[in-house]
Amino acid sequence: MTDSAQNANKTARKGVSRRRFLLILGGGVGALAVGAVAAGPTLVREGRLAMNTLFLTGDAPGTAPPKAPFVWFQIDADNTAHLYIPKIEMGQGIHTALAQVAADELDIAWETVRVHQGDAERGFDPALIFTFGSTSVTALYQPIREVAAALREMLRSEAAAQLNVAAERLVPVGSAFMVREEGGDNLLEPPITYGQIVAAKQGEWKTPETTPRLKTGAEFRYIGKSIERVDLRDKVTGRAIYGFDARVEGMKYGAVARPPRYGATLKRAGTGTAGSMPGVIAVVIRDGFAGVVAETRAKAHAALAALDLEWEGGTNISQAEIEALVSIPAQGGTLIQRVGDVEANGGGTRVEATYRVPMASHAQLEPQAALAEVDGDSVTITTSTQSPEITRDSVAAALGVDAAKVRVVPAYIGGAFGRKTGVDVGAEAAILAKGAGVPVHVGWTREEDMMYGYKRPPAVNSLWASLDAEGGVTAVHHELASADILLNPDIGAPILGRILGTDPLAAGGSLILYAFPNRRVVYHHTPIPVPTAYWRGLGSFPNTFAIETFMDELAAAAETDPLDFRLRYKPEGALGDRFERVLNAVAEASGWRGAAPEGRARGLAAVYDRGTVCALVVEASAENRQIRVHRAWCAVDPGLVINPDGAANQVQGSIIMGLSSTLKERFTVENGMAAAQNFNAYPLLTLAEAPTIEVIAINSSDEPVGGLGEPVGGLVPAAVSSAVFALTGERLREMPFTLA
């Protein structure tokens, strides 16, 4: 393969120029360490996709090149290639997927790759490390390839100089080059390894003037392959360190007093007899905060009861009152979609329905946890966080120190699903560590995480549609009300809500993309005095449930097969083609056109969510009025699939978590506090209740355009509701589903 201009593909043409390709070169003797920063098209795209970051930080994308790297390579003399990844591994396989992307373009032998978590120590901007919203691959695919290719070319030209041959004659063969014989095709032994090139290098490295040609799909060695996860060996042997596992010499354990009601604050706090409880090292009381540091977690928690605390304010709201708050008022709201004229076309037969999604706990299996070490005004926090930036800022604010003095070390995350955005436990550990003068680890109990963690916002969606005499849909109106995600004043940007009139994250997925001639969507902002925020899928979860179940209701009203009905109204243009492809793929895999086995029925749902198009079929039964999902098939098109087995794992997990919500989970509040404290009162789906799942991954592009961790979830309740309707004629519109 040669680097001819003729071969240059379109990605290379829109690549970075030298001006934007600022390399940070360095490293020790015999090592080449490269961090790269870029601006321009890739950064703009990242900014666009990562709308959450944009909203949270207020940074306008693309205005100035960032000063921090977004990827870091280091090649050692022994030919090991260290790769520092700026995203956090929480089970989604991101370290593996991004390493595949980098290794492919750098042409390294897979066994030489060592993947590390990138952190602030290597100059990474904590904002970049924010791992959320299924955006990691789409945001970093192109820039990582550009840097890896540039690094490969640096190694090639250096090897050419060392061997005194033309660079064109050097052929990458996996962490090494071989020289092509002059005038022939044979490769001459011995190869020169990247490590040898690095070790023999004298003087400055030269960075390329332009971005080299990037590989085409046919040339990929790792992208598109089901490569084993790089983190599993450490995980199955118990060596992997998560936030709850962080340890340091001399550390003690902290526990923090929690209010009896949401929103209550400390009116008065005294140490009581806590200081003389066994094992207690320090009682830390400051404005609005009371906590204990002790020799063990149990002793710290036991001492909390001996504090002398008085709480004031807060809510005593009941579940019924919450449901009344999250409802659709007779008027008002913010218009967020208008296609055609719904009013003028709202005659004919009317179909209408209202759907409800309750609060839910993330129930990620590792509760919040952080270790804080305070040394003067410098702080180190080792924690499971999706956002080192938010952790850093909340710790800095809590201790009144400069954010630059707070170092956040991101550990492996034992499940997050939106729960670990860094809003609380890091600051608690820091306050206690400073107060006690020793390093302190705070790990929330399950009860604390369930009672005090923010929740999935409850939502209600009402839809109506008009059908003409032939069963054609003339208009669809969708109105929704949700408690807050981004507008939650503790975590988000309330000012944005005032400007937009919506919570943009709760409104996600609420637009009607099917090609009905007249469409309208209205959003109602209905906050509740219970903390609600990010939960896997954000607004896409309730909105997809509502829209897709309604599609099934419309298909029934139009006496059309739900698959044919969706194909008839598929979105316009290329998106419609992608819908058609996933719908047909899932229909074929599931045998949709044939009859379901005796006693079972199938349900279908499809969605476009943040770049990914997917369709799901479930097969369910309702023996003894117990809903059971036996099988599921999901076709998913995220553009380009980096790791098919990893993609399948994400989709399978999303379906199981979605089914757990569909059939089991309902978080309720009584007298202003969680009714459930642990899994006995908040059961999750178990293994015996899980269906077998077949995933069909579809590549529709030469680059990844969407994520995989979230789009599928909201399809599950819609497909299950539709299957139960096909089976029993009963429509389930409120999660979790039960047949009376």
Partner 1 sequence: MQLTINNQVYEVAADPDDMLLWVIRDTLGLTGTKYGCGAGICGSCTIHLDGAALRSCITPASAAEGKAITTIEGLAMLSDDGEEVLHPVQQAFIETQTPQCSWCMSGQMMTAAAFLENNPQPTDAEIEAAMNNNICRCGCYARIRAAVARAAEIAQEGAA
Q: Where are the beta strands (DSSP E) in 295-405?
A: 308-312, 334-339, 349-357, 369-375, 378-383
Least distance (Å) from partner 1 to the CB of residue 215?
Answer: 25
Q: How far is the CB of 132 from partner 1 (least distance, A)?
A: 15
* 553 binds partner 1, rule: CB under 8 A: no
DSSP state of 405: G
714 binds ligand FES (CB under 6 A): no
- In this complex, which beta carbon is closest to partner 1, that of residue 413 or of residue 427? 413
Contact 468, 401 (CB under 8 A): no
Is residue 631 a contact point for partner 1 (CB under 8 A)?
A: no
Least gap, CB of 91 to ligand FES (angstroms): 5
ω into residue 736 within 30 of 0, thus cis?
yes
Minimum distance from residue 278 beta carbon to partner 1 (Å) = 9
404 interacts with partner 1 by CB under 8 A? no
Q: Got the DSSP string for 567-628?
A: HHTPPSHHHHHHHHHHHHHHHHHHTTTSPPPTTEEEEEEEEEETTEEEEEEEEEE-GGG--E
Site for partner 1 in 220-249 (CB under 8 A): 226, 228-229, 231-233, 235-242, 244-245, 247
Regarding 353 and contact with partner 1 (CB under 8 A), the answer is no
Which C-beta is closer to partner 1: that of 211 or that of 643? 643
298 binds partner 1 (CB under 8 A): yes
CA distance 146 to 26: 19
Give min distance, CB of 679 to ligand FES, in A: 8
| β-strand partners of 188 | 179
Quote the least distance from Cβ 687 to ligand FES, whole Å.
11
Any contact of residue 709 with ligand FES (CB under 6 A)?
no
Cα dihedral 450→452→454→458 (10° resolution): 70
Other beta carbons within 10 Å of 727: 20
Least distance to ligand FES from the beta carbon of 363, Å? 9
Would you say 417 or 592 has its CB closer to ligand FES? Answer: 417
Which residues in the 348-387 window bind ligand FES by CB under 6 A? 365
Asked if 509 interacts with ligand FES (CB under 6 A), we say: no
- When asked if residue 404 is in the footprint of ligand FES (CB under 6 A), the reply is no
Side-chain-side CA neighbours of 556 within 13 Å: the count stands at 18
Which among 127, 132, 131 is positioned nearest to 403, based on CA atoms?
A: 127
Total of residues contacting ligand FES (CB under 6 A): 3
Strands 692-697 and 628-637, by their bridges, are parallel
Rounded Cα distance, 53 and 45, in Å:
13
Tokens of 204: 């400055």
CB of residue 239 vs partner 1: minimum separation in angstroms?
7
Closest approach of partner 1 to the CB of residue 242, in Å: 7
Element (H or E) spanning 495, and its range? helix 494-500
The verdict on 383 binding partner 1 (CB under 8 A) reads: no
Kindly identify the residues of this chain, within the stretch 159-218, that bind partner 1 according to CB under 8 A: none
The conformation of residue 175, written as its DSSP 8-state character, comes to S
Q: Is 415 in the site for ligand FES (CB under 6 A)?
A: yes
Question: What beta strand segments (E) does 1-149 contain?
Answer: 22-26, 31-37, 71-76, 81-85, 113-117
- Among partner 1, ligand FES, none, what binds residue 686 when CB lies within 5 to 8 Å by partner kind? partner 1
Note whether 250 binds partner 1 by CB under 8 A: no
Q: What minimum distance in Å lies between the beta carbon of 237 and partner 1?
A: 6
Distance CA 51, CA 239 (A): 35
Q: What is the helix, strand, coil percentage profile of the chain, to 5?
A: 30, 25, 45
Minimum CB–partner distance for residue 169 and partner 1 (Å): 40
Q: Say which entry of partner 1, ligand FES, none residue 229 contacts (CB below 5 to 8 A, set by partner kind).
A: partner 1
Type and span of the H or E element at 391: helix 388-399
Beta strands in 11-153 (DSSP E): 22-26, 31-37, 71-76, 81-85, 113-117
Indicate the residue among 77 and 657 with the shorter CB distance to partner 1: 657
Residue 418 engages ligand FES in binding (rule: CB under 6 A): no
Choose the stretch contacting partner 1; rule: CB under 8 A; options: 173-181, 325-333, 519-527, 644-652. Answer: 644-652
551-to-313, 352, 555, 563, 607 alpha-carbon distances in Å: 45, 11, 6, 10, 11
Q: How near is the Cβ of 191 to partner 1 at its closest, in Å?
A: 28
Q: How far is the CB of 678 from ligand FES (least distance, A)?
A: 9
Take residue 288 and report the two structure tokens written for it. 């609005």
- Residue number with CB closer to partner 1 (36 or 656): 656
- Scan residues 57-96 and list those touching ligand FES (CB under 6 A): 91
Burial class, 133, CB count within 10 angstroms (exposed 0-12 / middle 13-18 / buried 19+)? buried
| CB-closest chain residue to ligand FES | 365
Among the listed residues 12, 23, 56, 90, the single contact to partner 1 using CB under 8 A: 90
CA 134 vs CA 326, 393, 435, 491, 611: distances in Å: 27, 23, 38, 19, 10
Of the candidate spans 73-81, 156-164, 680-688, 717-725, the one that interacts with partner 1 by CB under 8 A turns out to be 680-688
CA–CA separation, 378 and 358 (whole Å): 42
Distances in Å between the alpha carbon of 55 and those of 48, 344, 423, 587, 717?
Answer: 11, 36, 16, 38, 29
Shortest gap between Cβ of 411 and partner 1 (angstroms)? 11
Give the Å distances, CA to CA, from 151 to 22, 175, 530: 12, 12, 50
Task: Work out the number of other CB atoms within 10 angstroms of the CB of residue 67.
Answer: 10
443 binds ligand FES, rule: CB under 6 A: no
444-463 residues in contact with partner 1 (CB under 8 A) are: 445-447
By CB under 6 A, residue 537 contacts ligand FES: no
Closest distance between ligand FES and the C-beta of residue 684, in Å? 10
The secondary element (H helix, E strand) that includes residue 255 is: strand 252-256
Burial of 615 (0-12, 13-18, 19+ CB in 10 A): buried
Pick 320 or 365: Cβ nearer ligand FES: 365
Q: Is 679 in the site for partner 1 (CB under 8 A)?
A: yes
Taking CB under 8 A as the criterion, the residue among 271, 391, 488, 660 binding partner 1 is: 660
Residue with Cβ nearer partner 1 (320 or 365): 365
Binding to ligand FES by CB under 6 A, coded x per residue (else -) over 611-630, reads --------------------
With beta carbons less than 8 A apart as the criterion, state whether 706 and 647 touch: no
Q: Which residues contact 122 (CB under 8 A, 6 or more apart)?
A: 35, 69, 72, 84
Q: Is 684 in the site for partner 1 (CB under 8 A)?
A: yes
Using the minimum distance from each CB to ligand FES, give the nearer residue, 91 or 358: 91
Q: Which is nearer to ligand FES, 74 or 649 (CB)?
A: 649
Binding interface with ligand FES (CB under 6 A) = 91, 365, 415
Binding interface with partner 1 (CB under 8 A) = 90-93, 226, 228-229, 231-233, 235-242, 244-245, 247, 253, 296-298, 363-367, 412-417, 443, 445-447, 645-646, 649-650, 652-657, 660, 678-680, 684-688, 690-693
